[in-house]
Amino acid sequence: MSKKELLSKIGLRLDGRRAHELRRIRCKLGVFTEPDGSAYMEQGLTKVLAAVYGPHQVRGSKSKAQHDNVVINCQFSMAVFSTTDRKKRPRGDRKSTELSMHLQQALESVIKTELYPWSQIDVYVEVLHADGGIYPACVNAATLALIDAGIPLKEYVCACTASLANNDVPMVDISHQEEVLGGPTLTIAALPMSGKIVLMEMSQRFHLDHLDKVMNKALQGCKDIRRILDEAVRLHVRDVGSATGWALAT
Amino acid sequence: MFTTKTFIKKTRIGHFLKHVREHYIRDDISCGFRSCEKCNPVESFLSPNHHNKCALFNYDHYIILDTNVILDQMDVLEEAPIGNVIILHTVITEVKHRSLPIYKRLFTLIENPSKHFYIFTNDHHKDTYIEQLDGELVNDYNDRCIRKACSWYMEHLPNEKFILLTEDVNNRNIAIEEGITACSIFPYVKHMNDNAVLEDKLSRKEIYLDKDARDLFPPHLNNVQLLNGIKEGTLYQGTFRASRDNFLEGFVNVEALEDQVLVQGRTGLNRAVDGDVVVVELFDKSDWISPSDIILEDEGTVEDVEEIEQKEKQLKETTTKKGEIKPTGKVVGIIRRKWRQYCGILQGGLEGVYQLFVPADRSIPKIRIETRQAEFLKTQKLIVTIDSWPRYSRYPHGHFVRALGKIGDQSTENEVILLEHDVPHSQFSEEVLSCLPKLPWIITDEDLQKRVDLRDLDICSVDPPGCTDIDDALHCREVGDHLEVGVHIADVSHFIRPYTALDLEAQSRGTTVYLVNKRIDMVPNLLSSNLCSLRGGEERFAFSCIWEMDKKANILNTRFHKSIIKSKKAMTYEEAQMTIDDKSKNDNIAKSLRYLLMLSKILKKGRLDNGALVLASPEVKIMMDSETMEPLDIEVKKMFETMSMVEEFMLLANISVAEKILQDFPECACLRRHPVPPSSNFDPLIKAGRHLGLEINVESGKELAKSLDEAVKPDNPFLNTMIRILATRCMLQAVYFASGTMQKEDYFHYGLAVPLYTHFTSPIRRYADIIVHRLLAVSCGSDVTYPDLLDKAKTSEICQNLNYRNRMAQYAGRASIAFNTHLFFKGKLQDEQGYILYVRKNALQVLIPKYGLESTLYLARKGESSDIFEYNEEDQTQRAKDVVLHAFDPVKVRLSLNSDNIQHEKFVLQLVSPYIEGFSVPPIEEMDTSETNIESGKKRKKDGNEKKSKSKKNSKNTN
Ligand SMILES: [Zn+2]
C-alpha cells in the first residue's frame, strides 16, 4: 500500500480520533459589534471569522438588484498567516472566487430570499488558520453569523467533509494531514434537518461503490455539526436574553 | 466521550515550517485484559492460559517490549514460548519508522491469536500520554512514554505482573529505579525453559572473541559526514552489488553517475553486503582501474586474516589499468542495510559453538553464527540472518533462524529455491479455499443467459504434453467468403471475485511457478486443473475473442464476449501437427487447424516484416522418473509448427484486447511494455559480430531483426542461434504497467514490435490476465467495476508486484533446472558438442545446446596465465600453436560434475577437440566404452580437479 494508513489497525486516526468523530468544534456568535451579525468558528485547528452586513440597499451597480430576491454577496479570504507557507494571497484569485461562489450557493438555499426584494446581504469570511476543511468551516461560521444578524433562515445549513481511510472505511471531518496523505475528499453542504444536499464537491473521483457510504458519513457529520451549532445558538440567545431579562422565562 | 477529550498541540519544526497538528487524548482506550472491570471490553488476545516461563521470574507475567528488542530479536519473538506481550503504540510508531519489514512481521504476530499480543495505544490514553519536554531528545521521550505505560499497567492491574524487556541499559536502570521490573532479553531467554533453540535465534550485536583483535576494516563515516559529503558532491550514494565470481570485488550503482563505481579489496568493499545502500568516495582518475577478470573464492575459516590478505595480493597483481577503465572508489559508509534471511549450509570442519555459515547466494559473504546444535545443523540446509558486522571481524555476525531439511533432498532443494526467490508457497488457507465454488459445479440457466453459447463450435486446445492447466482453446470456420477465428480463454475472473481472500492470495502470488517436478499454483487446484481448465469434452466458461478475417489474415472486425464452450479435444502440439499433416483427416477439427496454421503463417510473416525479433534461448526439458522423481534424461524441447500457430493467435488476442481496454480505460489499463534497450547494451553483441566479420545494426528493432537474419555462416550452422542467444542477453525485461503512469510512446513492445500489448491469454497462471479480463468484462458489459480496478495508483502497485514475482518465478524455474541437471550428471562423464560463447583471458565460456548448459572451460589455473594459450584481447581469440579459438567456434568438451562444494556443484569442462597437445583429453570412446561408468568418472575427476570450473546456467533471458 503506497498510501499511508490513515486508520490504524486499532481504529484510531493519526490524531487519535475514530473514523466517525468530528474534530473539536468551538464557536461563538456576536464576536464583533460593527457588523449586523458575526461569528467565530474553530473546527480542530481550522479557524474562521464570519461577518454579515445587511440586508441593505443594493450597493454599486443597481442593475444587480432583483425584484423578487435578495442579492447575496459572499467574499472569501485567507489571512496571510493562515497556512504554513506565508504567501500573499491576492483577493479574488481563482480559489477564493470559487469558494465565494460555493458559499453563496449554500447560503442562498437557506436564506428566505423572497423577504428582501431589491436588497443585498454581504457575507465576509476570513480564514485565520487553515488545517483542512476550510469550506465547511466557512459555511458553518456564515450560518452562525446570519443567525446572529437575525436574518430568517429555513433551517441551519452545515457543511462537512468525508473521505476513505485505507481505501475502505469512510471517515468524517478530514484534517489537512489526512487530506494530503489520503485519497479523494468529498465536501457536502446540507440542510441537516430536511436531509437536503445543497452542494457537493469531490477533490478527485470516487468509485461509485464508495460514494454512498462516504456521502452518508459526510451527511451524518453535517447533522452532528448542526447539533453543536444549535447548542451554541441557544447558549448565545440565553446569554444575550438574560441581559435583557426576557429569556429567564425559559 | 467526544467532548471530554483534552486538546493538546503538537509541533514539529523542520525546513523552517511550523506544523501544528492536533493530538486527541481519549478516555476509552482499554488495557486489553478481559478480567478488567475498569475498561471498556475490547477484542484482545491476551490470555491467562498462556504462561511465559522464565526461571528469573517465578510467576506468571506479561511482557512489555522496548523498540530495540523488537527491531533486533524478531526471530526470538516469533517463537511459541513467548506470548502475552503488550505492544505500545509509541513502540509501533518507532518500529515503523525504523524498519518496514520488521513492522510487517510485528503485525503478523499481533494478528496471530495464538501469540497473545495486544496493542495499547498509550499515546492517546488520558493517563499514559505525557508531553515531550523542551530540549528532550525523541529517544528519551519515547523511553519515558514506555516507562509511564509500564507504571500505569502496574497501578491499573495490581494483581498482574509486568516485565519490561529492553536492551537500553539506561532505560532499564531508570525503570528499575522507578519500581518497574525490567530485564534484558539475553538473561531472560537464557533462563527460559527449552531455551536451546531460542538462544540460537538471539541476535548478538557484539561478539568479543579476542580482546586484542585488530581492526580489519576502516571505520565508516557517520551519517552527518555522509550526508554532507553527498550534498557537497564529494561522496556518492548508490546500491552495492557484490560480484558473484570475486568476493573481493563489487560495483556501486550510483544514480548520479553514468557508470557504475568499481570497488575492490577489503578496504574498498568495507563490509558492504550485496543490496546495501552505501556511500562511495571516488579515487583520482589516475588510480582508476578496470574490473579484474579472475575468479576469487573466499576459502577462509573463522578469523583467518592471512588468507584474505593473500587473495588481495593476488587481486592486485591481476588488476590492470588497461582495457575498460571504470570509475573506482571505496565504500566509506552505509546508509541502509538491506540484510535479509539467507539460505545456505554450515562450512564443515569447524568445532564448537562458533560456526561459519555459507550462503547459497554467492554474492553474500559467509556469516558467523553461534549455535549449540552444530552437529545437527551440518546435515541441514538452514536459514540465517545477519545482525552486525564489527570492524574487527572478518565476517558479519548473525544468528540461526530455522532449518529447512536435509542437504541434497529434492524437497529441501525445492524449498531453498522457493525461499531464495521469495516465492509464496504455503498451502492455501481455509479462508482462501472457502471462496471456491462448491462441487458438483453446475451451469445454471442464469449463466446461460449471460453468455453466448458456443458449445456447438468445433473448438480444440493445443498445448504441451501433460498440461493440466489449459488456458486457451481455438477454433476457425468458414463464414461466407471469410473466416471466423476464435480464441477462447478460461474465464477465471468469473470464479475469482475482487477483494475475496482468494483474489488477494492470487494477487500476492502473481504467477504460477514451475519447478522441474513441482508446480506452485497461483490459484487452488480445483480452479487451475479443473473448473477453469478448458478440458476436452467438458463444458466450461470462457472469455472469447472472435475475429472475422479474410483469407489473407486481415482482420475485418473483432468482438469480445463471455461464452460457454465445449472443447472437442485437448491436443498436444505433436497431435495437432499430425492431424494437420494427415491428408486423410478431413473432419472439422482438422480443417479448422489447417486454416489456423495457414493464417498464423501470414500473421507471423507480417510481424517479422514489421521488425519483431526472433530470439533464442535453449529451452530444455528434464524427463523425470515418475516414481523416484529423479531426472532420467535432459532434452531440448522439440519444436512444432503448431507451437508457433498457437503463439500467433495468442499474440493477436493480446494485442486486440490491449487496444480495447486502453480505449475504454485510458488511465488504468494494465498493459505490458518492452523497453528499447540502451544502445550500450548491444556492445558485446556488436563486438562479437565484428570479430566474425558481421555487421550487426542495432539502430532499430527492425534493423536488428534483419541483421540477425543475415548472420549466417555456412560452415557453422549453429552460429545464427548463438548470435540470437547473445542478442537475447542485450534485452531488457518486459514489464507490466498502468497506462496512466506512462507516456503513450513508452507503451511500445520492442521485442514484438507492436505499439500496444498486454496479457490476456493465461489467467490461470498469471494475475495480470485476471485484471485484464475484469477490464474487458466491464468493456463488454458483462461485469461491473470495483474501486481498485479504476485506480491507476493501485493498478501500478499491482503491476510492480507482478513484475517482481515474474522475475523471481523465472529465476526459480532456472534454478530448479540447474539443480536437476546437476543431479542428472552426478557421477557421469560425457563428451558433448559445444560452442564458444565468449573468449576470456583465462577461460572459454562454452554453451552446450543439448543441455542448455553454459559453463566455463578454464585454460589456466586460477590467477595464472597459461603457457599453452595466447590471449588476444583485440580479436578475442585464444591461440595455441596453430589452433585459434574464436567466439562461436564449435568445440567438443568432456562434461563432468564436481561436487566438492555441495552448495555449488560445478560442471568441469575439458577440451576434447580441437586437440591441443598437453591440454586436451582424448575422447571417451577411446579410453572407455561405457559412457556412464561411475568408477571411471571418479578417476577422471581426480585428474580434472585441478582446473576449477563453474557452471553459469542462468542465462539472462529477457523475453
Ligand atoms: Zn483495564
Q: Is residue A241 part of a domain?
A: no
> B residues 230-289 near A, CB within 8 Å?
none
Task: Check A208 against B785: CB less than 8 A apart.
Answer: yes
- State how far Cα B655 lies from the chain centre: 28
The predicted pLDDT at position B803 comes to 93
The CATH number linked to B186 is: 3.40.50.1010
For residue B914, whether the previous peptide bond is cis, meaning omega lies within 30 degrees of 0, is yes
> Which of B596, B616, B651 is the last residue before a domain boundary?
B596
Per the domain annotation, does B26 fall within a domain?
no
Domain count, chain B: 6
CA distance B542 to B532: 8
Of A8, A15, A85, the CB nearest to B23: A15
b vs e for B860-882, b when ≥16 Cβ sit within 10 Å of the residue's Cβ? bebeeebebbebeeeebbbebee
CA of residue B143 to ligand 1 center, whole Å: 22
Q: Are B488 and B649 in contact, with CB atoms under 8 Å apart? A: no
**Dihedral sign computed on CA atoms, order A105, A107, A110, A112:** negative
The ipTM, to two decimals, is 0.88
Residue B581 and residue B441 in one domain: yes
pLDDT value of position A103: 94
CA distance, residue A22 to nearest chain B CA (Å): 8
Q: Which of A4, A6, A12, A128 to mutate to test the interface with B (most CBs of B within 10 A)?
A: A12
CATH number, domain of A131, equals 3.30.230.70
CA angle, residues B842, B847, B853, in degrees to nearest 5: 115
Q: A63: distance to nearest CA of chain B, Å?
A: 46
Answer whether residue B614 is part of any domain. Answer: no
Containing B575, the helix (H) or strand (E) segment is helix B573-581
CA B33–ligand 1 middle distance (angstroms)? 6
Pairwise CA distance, residues B841 & A125, whole Å:
80
Task: Round to whole Å and give the CA distance between B762 and B806.
Answer: 13
Binned average pLDDT, 10 residues per bin, chain B of 959 residues: 45 57 85 87 87 87 93 88 91 89 88 90 89 86 93 92 92 92 90 78 67 76 87 89 84 84 86 91 84 72 68 70 77 88 84 85 88 86 88 87 85 88 88 86 85 92 88 92 93 91 92 89 90 90 93 91 92 91 88 92 89 69 57 67 89 94 92 89 81 80 83 77 80 89 89 91 93 93 84 90 92 86 82 83 81 80 69 78 81 83 78 80 62 39 35 34
Instruction: Tell me whether A44 touches chain B (CB under 8 Å).
Output: yes
Residue reference for cell 495486544? B118
Q: Do A44 and B22 touch (CB under 8 A)?
A: yes
The answer to whether the peptide bond before residue A35 is cis (omega within 30 degrees of 0) is: no
Query: CB distance B791–A207 less than 8 Å?
Result: yes
- Amino acid found at A21: E
**Would you say B92 and B106 are in contact if contact means Cβ atoms under 8 Å apart?**
yes
A171: containing domain: 25-232
Chain A residues in contact with B21 by the CB 8 A cut-off are: 14-15, 45, 175, 177
In a mutational test of the A interface, the residue from B5, B24, B668 whose CB has the highest number of chain A CBs within 10 Å is B24
In the DSSP assignment, the letter for residue B31 is -
Same domain, B450 and B517: yes
DSSP A115: G
Do B251 and B188 share a structural domain? no
For chains A and B, count residue pairs whose Cβ atoms are closer than 8 Å.
64
CA atoms within 13 A on the CB side of A93: 7
Residue B209 lies in a domain: no
CA dist., res. A213 & res. A163, Å (int): 10
Q: How far apart are CA B509 and CA B812, in angstroms?
A: 14
Domain total of chain A: 1
**Are residue B815 and residue B844 in the same domain, yes or no?**
no
Q: Which residue of B has its CA nearest to A224?
A: B2
Q: Which three cell numbers stand for residue B378?
A: 551440518
Burial of residue A49 (number of CB atoms within 10 Å: 0-12, 13-18, 19+) = buried
**B660 shares its domain with B518:** no
Whole-prediction pTM: 0.72
Residue type at A219? L
Quote the CA–CA distance of A81 and A91 in Å, as a whole number: 15
How would you classify the pairing of strands B328-336 and B261-264?
parallel
pLDDT of residue B944: 36
C-alpha grid cell for residue A205?
473521483
Q: Residues 380-399, chain B: which have Cβ within 8 Å of A? A: none
- The model's confidence at residue A151, banded by pLDDT at 50, 70 and 90, is very high
Residues B251, B120 share a domain: no
With an 8 Å Cβ cutoff, is A80 touching chain B?
Answer: no
Distance CA B101, CA B112 (A): 17
Sign of the C-alpha dihedral computed for residues B650, B652, B657 and B662 taken in this order: positive
Average pLDDT over residues A234-248: 77
Instruction: Pull the grid cell for residue B711.
Output: 548472420
Indicate whether B34 belongs to any domain: no
- In chain A, whose CA is at the least distance from the CA of B23? A15
Mark which residues 12-31 of A lie under 8 Å from B by CB. 12, 14-17, 21-24
State how far residue B4 is from chain A, nearest Cα, in angstroms: 10
Domain carrying residue B316: 223-336
Neighbours of A28 (CB within 10 A): 15
Give me the pLDDT at residue A139, please: 96
| B833, B937: one domain | yes
Single out the residue in B201, B234, B249 at which a domain terminates.
Answer: B201
Residue A35 within any structural domain of the chain: yes
Residue B424: name the closest of B834, B780, B812 by CA.
Answer: B812
Distance to chain B for A95, nearest Cα, Å? 23
Neighbours of B512 (CB within 10 A): 19
Question: Which residue intervals of B35-77 are DSSP H helices?
Answer: 67-72, 74-77
Residues B724 and B741 in one domain: yes
Kindly state the DSSP code that residue B407 receives in the 8-state scheme: T
Q: Clarify whether residues B403 and B437 are in a common domain.
A: no
A87/B contact by beta carbon, under 8 A: no
Any domain includes A2: no
Is residue B427 in some structural domain? no
Residue A17 domain flag: no
In this complex, do A207 and B19 lie within 8 Å of one another by their Cβ atoms? Answer: no
Residue whose grid cell is 562450512: B347
Of A1, A16, A210, the CB nearest to B24: A16
Q: What angle do CA B560, B565, B571 make, to 5 degrees?
A: 110
- The residue ranges of DSSP E strands in chain A, in sequence order, are 25-29, 37-43, 46-57, 71-78, 119-129, 158-165, 169-172, 185-191, 196-202
Half-sphere exposure of B929 (CA within 13 A, CB side): 0
Closest Cα partner for B518 from B430, B417, B402, B381?
Answer: B417
Among B307, B336, B365, the domain-final residue is: B336
Q: Check CB contact of B797 with chain A, cutoff 8 Å.
A: yes
B271 and B299, same domain (yes or no): yes
Residues of A numbered 174-203 whose beta carbons fall under 8 angstroms of chain B's beta carbons: which are they? Answer: 175, 177
Per the domain annotation, does B206 fall within a domain?
A: no
The answer to whether residue A8 sits within a structural domain is no
The answer as to whether A18 is a domain residue is no
> In chain A, what percentage of residues exceed pLDDT 90?
56
Question: What are the backbone angles phi and psi of residue B916, rounded to the nearest 5°?
Answer: -125, 120
Per DSSP, the residues of B294-358 read S-B-----TT-HHHHHHHHHHHHHH--SSSS-B-EEEEEEEEE----EEEEEEPTT--SSEEEEE
Please report where in the chains the cell 591461440 appears, as a residue: B879
Kindly state whether residue B6 falls inside one of the protein's structural domains.
no
CATH of the domain at B413: 2.40.50.700
Residue B190: half-sphere exposure toward Cβ, Cα within 13 Å = 6
Could you tell me if B851 and B758 lie in one domain?
no
Q: d(Cα B98, Cα B637) in Å, to the nearest integer? A: 49
Q: Are strands B7-14 and B17-24 parallel, antiparallel or unpaired?
A: antiparallel
Q: Could you tell me if residue B23 is inside a domain? A: no
Q: Determine the pLDDT at residue B182.
A: 92
User: B466 with B577, same domain?
Assistant: yes
**Crossing angle of helices B767-779 and B792-825, rounded to 10°:** 140
Q: Note the Cα B316 to chain centre separation in Å.
A: 34
CA pair distance B362, B359, nearest whole angstrom: 7
